[in-house]
Amino acid sequence: MSFINNIKREFGTANMLNKLIYINVFSFLFLNIFSVILSLFLIDINSIKQHLILPSNTEEVIKKPWSLISYMFIHENFIHLIFNLIWLHFGGKLFLQYLNQKQLLYTYILGGLSGGILFIIAFNYLPALIPFSENAKALGASASVLAIFFAIATHIPNYQVNIPFIGYVKLKHIALIYITLDFLNIPSGNAGGHIAHLGGAIFGFIYIKKFNQKSVKNEKSQFYTYLKNIFNFQKSNIKKDYKVKEIDLILEKISKSGYNSLTKTEKELLFKSSKK
């Protein structure tokens, strides 16, 4: 029980990046351990796995809409999992240096959804892929991971990464090379995976572009409010100074000629001033 409690405590205190990594690892271990147990009873794990991965057939998607989310936490094998987690850790750490944990989760989920939706659209509307739509399936965190990586690469495009044997390379160049290879490899196999990658990458790019535009608008709005407050403060002070001088003149007039010497306007001003 203490082991389980430690896992719960570790998960509860972890940041969003580590939580996403833990969920992917747990999903992989659970399905594979469960697969061994089921094999002892001659039950194929694929019959269960099919309910979690994303089909391209729209009728199947309607029957199991949860697959639009679950597919981004399921991996084919250990290499597939490790490769995605390395990219997730690398892109996620950079992401959290400049953006927050809520945005990381938002980008992961919606980036995965974008990749899944583009995958479904491609296999239902592109003539070269329609013949394979019945059996095409998508699984893995790649679209979500690329959404995070492209988001941070768009946010800080000139950030340099030191790659062994190559040297310093800008994030925007890594992103460009990655997406170009994905696009060029669509005809050579795993078209669904490459198309889902494109969907995630496009979401990450658009999301940060919109976020940056909003930030600029907020900065302009804040600057305008700041100037307005300064102006209003100065204007208020000018009015106050003017009224103080008027009251001083009225009081001076009273001391010389008495209260009855005041005009109706001066009496009203004095009365209003006495109430404040």
Q: For 211-265, write each residue's pLDDT tens digit.
A: 878 765 554 455 456 445 655 544 455 455 556 677 777 677 676 666 667 677 7
Residue 25 buriedness (CB in 10 A; 0-12 / 13-18 / 19+) = middle
The larger pLDDT score, comparing residue 46 to residue 114, is at 114
Average pLDDT over residues 105-133: 93
Average pLDDT over residues 168-192: 91
The larger pLDDT score, comparing residue 42 to residue 172, is at 172
Give CA angle at 151 (205, 191), nearest 5°.
65
For residue range 120-141, list pLDDT tens digits in order.
999 999 998 988 888 899 999 9
Helix 142-155 crosses helix 101-125 at what angle (to 10 degrees)?
120
Task: Inform me whether the pLDDT recorded for 150 exceeds 90.
Answer: yes
Report the mean per-residue pLDDT for the chain. Answer: 84
Tell me whether strands 54-55 and 137-138 are parallel, antiparallel or unpaired. antiparallel
Distance CA 155, CA 100 (A): 13
Distances from the Cα of 67 to the Cα of 50, 51, 52, 104, angstroms: 9, 7, 5, 21
What single DSSP character describes residue 50?
T
For residue range 35-85, list pLDDT tens digits in order.
888 888 877 777 778 889 999 988 899 999 999 999 999 998 999 999 999
What pLDDT does 145 receive?
96
